[in-house]
Amino acid sequence: MRRKKLGFVSLILLFSVTFSMLGGCAKKEEPVVSNGEIDEFQKFVFSSNSEVTGLNPLLNTTAPDNGLQAIILETLIDSVADEDGTAIIKAAAAETWDVSEDGLVYTFKIRDNAVWNDGVPVTADDFVFTYRMMATPEVGSTNAWLFDGVIKNFGEALYEGTKTPEEIGVEAIDEKTVQFTLTKPCAYFLDLLTGAKPVREDKWEEWGSTYGSSHDKIVMNGPFLIDSWDQNVQMTLVKNEDYWDAANVKLDVIERKVIREPATAVQALLSGQIDVVGTNDPEWRQVIEAEGDKFRMIQMPDNAPEFLGFNCNNKYFKNPKIRIAFSLGFDREKYIEDLRYGLSEPLYSLIPSVINCGDMPYKERVGGRNEIVKELMEQYPDPRALLVEGLVEEGFDPDPSKMDVKYATRGTAEYSKKSAEWLQQQYEEVLGVSIIIDMMEWNIMWEKVDQNDYDICTAGWGPYYNDPNALLEIFHPTDGYFDSTKTGWTGPDAEKYAELLEKASSSTDDDERAELFLEAEKLLVGTGVVAPTYCAVSTIYLADYVKGYYVSPVAGVDYTKIYTVGRP
């Protein structure tokens, strides 16, 4: 692997309503209705607090971008939630696919009736061109790194220049058949494909750098098309009548509003201006629930962990005992009660409970042995004593109050301030350390992390696919987003960590992969390189007249299934 991580998802970005939800969560049964009973005009309205930055799927890959592009652009296959909250891979632009016995060759047959919105057929060449552009360094595709070490010759073309984009393992067998050749079996390859939305060569060449800059500078092949875009206000989408499965798409219109203030979004739900909202605020929840059965409530954990990062180059945090002491120096349950309205999942592993390894949750596959922080709590019941040991080993004054440690916030908003002050108080009470809060905007903090100029930072990561590797790989000492130049983590443990991830990436046995991931976690979390903190739990209120809105922690909403019955 030679990855240089170009894409990053910060957990403070969004609270959009293309939510992920917990499979198996309680939900109100929806009535079975005939076509004659559903509303004559079908419309679904949602809001986001962030605008779409652009429509170019190779360059615009923030969470708002991805959520919108999943509605207007169709990949070969898609990962969506079914009615049970289970993530499923469904056929999309490709009607069928085959995998070779050795797991190295994937062959997709594209539908004969799959077309772009200008009537041009979707072909194998469209996908070949897309992946070749992703493998072209000059393009700067933000998600290209996902396929380095996966698709044959991809990294050699993108990073090394020893191969050309035309030599990557993606080829058109015929007009409607595209084939991928991998470097090794990849258990999550189908999940990866969902993140690579297609572009068309003739329009790419025609529009150049303006491709995706406006809704008239993009061709679409998804179930809905952009009809209008009033930036920072609203985007309106209409049903694509030429979509291959248009007969089964019920919605006529989707409206995506930009509402930045949470209170305004709740008021929009109550007044019927939007159909769904997310809020954990107890006061607003009480107001919504006072409306009775007008809204259905769903609560779910996210799949994106929050964690503290310790700079292993720091004079203190180069010592594992000091790192572990700081990892144990705060109460995760108390954090959730005090700051998260009691609505978050405390993390004792980097991997949230909803992440799968194969066809079952990673936590279940390893029998709960991944809760490494709990093991550390039992091993070191007195974090302050452990801290003093580390200070003595490094030749410092054993009095923790003499330490000078800065905590870099990821933003200057009220929550960042409150959470930093809470952590400051915890470290004072538990460890006897008075940390210095360094308030800064999130982009400044990331610049400092890039430069290895911090003591403690707060961070988070939204995984690009449903597998523990999606989170563990970001700490690969040479290839990860948080590589050793950012974390300062080097030496035998870091080298062993890289070896374990390499072994896991070459295995097709999910039990073996899970055990390798567990060993890697013990090195990463068990030595305090990072301290997992929590995973958000969101509360969503959905208008009761909205049906077919299914969600999963690790898959997107399938907008082709949504319809309304009795919209006021």
Looking at residue 513, its pLDDT comes to 95
269-296 pLDDT per residue, tens: 999 999 999 998 899 999 999 999 999 9
List CB contacts of 144: < 8 A, sequence separation 6 or more: 6, 134, 135, 154, 158
Check residues 7 and 73 and name the one with the higher pLDDT.
73
d(CA 354, CA 313): 33
Check residues 410 and 25 and name the one with the higher pLDDT.
410
512-554 pLDDT per residue, tens: 999 999 999 999 999 999 999 999 988 999 999 999 999 887 8
* Residues in a beta bridge with 174: 177
* Least trusted range by pLDDT, from 3-17, 111-125, 440-454, 495-509: 3-17
d(CA 398, CA 229): 61
Average pLDDT for the chain:
91
Type and span of the H or E element at 69: helix 63-72
Mean pLDDT over residues 451-471, rounded? 92
d(CA 475, CA 498): 9
The tokens 């090794």 sit on which residue? 184
Record the pTM.
Answer: 0.80
Select from 26, 556, 12, 16 the least CA-distant residue to 300. Answer: 26
List CB contacts of 357: < 8 A, sequence separation 6 or more: 365, 467, 468, 510, 513, 514, 517
Looking at residue 23, its pLDDT comes to 32
d(CA 215, CA 222): 14
Q: Distance of CA 85 to CAs 69, 149, 191, 468, Å? A: 22, 31, 17, 20
d(CA 465, CA 438): 33
Burial of residue 106, with CB atoms counted within 10 A of its CB: 0-12 exposed, 13-18 middle, 19 or more buried:
buried
Residue type for 433, please? Answer: V
Mean pLDDT over residues 405-415, rounded? 91
Query: Are the C-beta atoms of 561 and 223 separated by less than 8 Å?
Result: no
Q: Is it the case that residue 3 has pLDDT exceeding 80?
A: no
Mean pLDDT over residues 367-374, rounded? 97
Query: Are the C-beta atoms of 231 and 123 separated by less than 8 Å?
Result: no
Going by the DSSP 8-state scheme, the letter that residue 499 receives in this structure is H
List CB contacts of 518: < 8 A, sequence separation 6 or more: 366, 369, 370
d(CA 121, CA 211): 19
Mean pLDDT over residues 448-477, rounded? 92
Q: Is it the case that residue 383 has pLDDT exceeding 90?
A: yes
Going by the DSSP 8-state scheme, the letter that residue 386 receives in this structure is H
129-188 pLDDT per residue, tens: 999 999 999 999 988 988 998 999 999 999 999 999 999 999 999 999 999 999 998 888
Residue type for 459, please? Answer: A
Burial of residue 30, with CB atoms counted within 10 A of its CB: 0-12 exposed, 13-18 middle, 19 or more buried:
middle
Task: Compute the 3-state secondary structure of the chain and give helix, strand, coil in percent, each to the nearest 5.
Answer: 35, 20, 45
Looking at residue 153, its pLDDT comes to 98
**Domain boundaries, given as residue ranges, for the chain:** 43-258+545-564, 301-537
Looking at residue 442, its pLDDT comes to 81
* Fold equal for 43-258+545-564 and 301-537: no
CATH topology of domain 43-258+545-564: D-Maltodextrin-Binding Protein; domain 2 (3.40.190)
Going by the DSSP 8-state scheme, the letter that residue 156 receives in this structure is I
Looking at residue 481, its pLDDT comes to 86
Query: Are the C-beta atoms of 275 and 46 separated by less than 8 Å?
Result: yes
Q: Is it the case that residue 15 has pLDDT exceeding 80?
A: no
Residue type for 38, please? Answer: I
Q: Is it the case that residue 28 has pLDDT exceeding 80?
A: no
Q: How many CB atoms are closer than 10 A to CB 548? A: 19
197-227 pLDDT per residue, tens: 999 999 999 999 999 999 999 999 999 999 9
pLDDT band at 16 (very low <50, low <70, confident <90, very high): very low
d(CA 306, CA 520): 18
Measure the N-to-C terminal CA separation of the chain; round to a whole number of Å.
Answer: 55
121-137 pLDDT per residue, tens: 999 999 999 999 999 99
* Residues in a beta bridge with 172: 178
List CB contacts of 496: < 8 A, sequence separation 6 or more: 523
CATH topology of domain 301-537: Dipeptide-binding Protein; domain 3 (3.10.105)
Burial of residue 119, with CB atoms counted within 10 A of its CB: 0-12 exposed, 13-18 middle, 19 or more buried:
exposed
> Strands (DSSP E) along 203-343, which ranges?
224-230, 234-239, 253-258, 276-278, 295-310
Q: Distance of CA 276 to CAs 229, 259, 288, Å? A: 20, 12, 11
